[in-house]
Amino acid sequence: PGQMVVYLMIDIKRKNWGPRQLVSAIEDAIVATLKDYKIDSAPKKEAPGVYVQQAVGDAKIASLGLRIKQGRSFHGLALNIDMNMEPFHRINPCGYVGMAITQMATELPSQGDKKVTFQDVSANLSRHLMQCLQYTYSIELPA
């Protein structure tokens, strides 16, 4: 709970893209989504995902996990929205010792009692994914 997981099945062969183009498009969509909430973020070439700058260094707010098989992508991304962060203190996220993890609820500029909702984030992330992946048509399936 509190983490949005998005599975992307994309034929990158048909798009004439390589894996790096796909990763960059997904990261760009996450950065654009976070910008909608006034959260500054950026990807890192050496460690896929999206990060926010904190006083103690970078903290990961979104993870990517893709598999490319026969020109098609499987799996996708996980965006931390509003969750219990305690379990992350007991592991090395993505295999990186000491990597800080954060979430949108922590990084949001003060907005009073207004909370970020899955529904809003889902709509914004979907829109940005469509744009960054260069799609103009989508089908929404019931949850």
Q: Reply yes or no on whether 132 is catalytic.
A: no
- CB 10, CB 16: distance < 8 Å: no
**Cα gap 50→28, rounded to integer Å:** 9
Q: How far apart are the C-alpha atoms of 129 and 5, rounded to whole Å?
A: 13
Catalytic residue among 94, 105, 108, 130: 94
The half-sphere exposure of 26 on its side-chain side, counting CA atoms within 13 A, is 30
How are beta strands 42-43 and 50-54 bridged, if at all?
antiparallel
The catalytic residue positions are 94
